[in-house]
Amino acid sequence: MKADLSKAPDWVRDWAESKWRGDDRMVPNPRKQTPIYSGVLAYFPAALAEVARCSFVGNEQHNPGTPLHWDRAKSGDELDALMRHLRDHADGIVFDDDGITHLTKVAWRALAALQKQQEAIDAKQAAEST
């Protein structure tokens, strides 16, 4: 019996359908194709720690005294901000005024843009599947 993948993202459905062969051999679960720990956290622990510290410092700057959260109303220009920080990094300016490196802020902004893009893709796919 196959799992109901009708509401799964297209890439999951495509991957799952491509993995069933005539010999009834099944390959690993699609979730294993998204190795969050071994494919990201284990690769970049120091870099991701800096991105997390950037989130904390930014939260204290923009929302002092509140629990850590991403106030999306205050950060809608991810790609422009990413480029400003990348330019500063390329000009040899390592640290921003708050002590966070410009390259760390490039990574934070890239992740923010990617998160928003993925949410839009997921919403579109969900709407199309209903």
pLDDT digits (tens, 9 = 90+) for 14-70: 655 655 444 445 556 777 888 899 999 999 999 999 999 999 999 999 999 999 999
pLDDT digits (tens, 9 = 90+) for 58-67: 999 999 999 9
Determine which helix (DSSP H) or strand (DSSP E) holds 86, and give its type and residue range.
helix 78-90
Which of 24, 60, 16, 44 is CA-nearest to residue 103? 44
pTM for the structure as a whole: 0.76
Do residues 107 and 51 lie in contact, with contact meaning Cβ atoms separated by under 8 Å?
A: yes
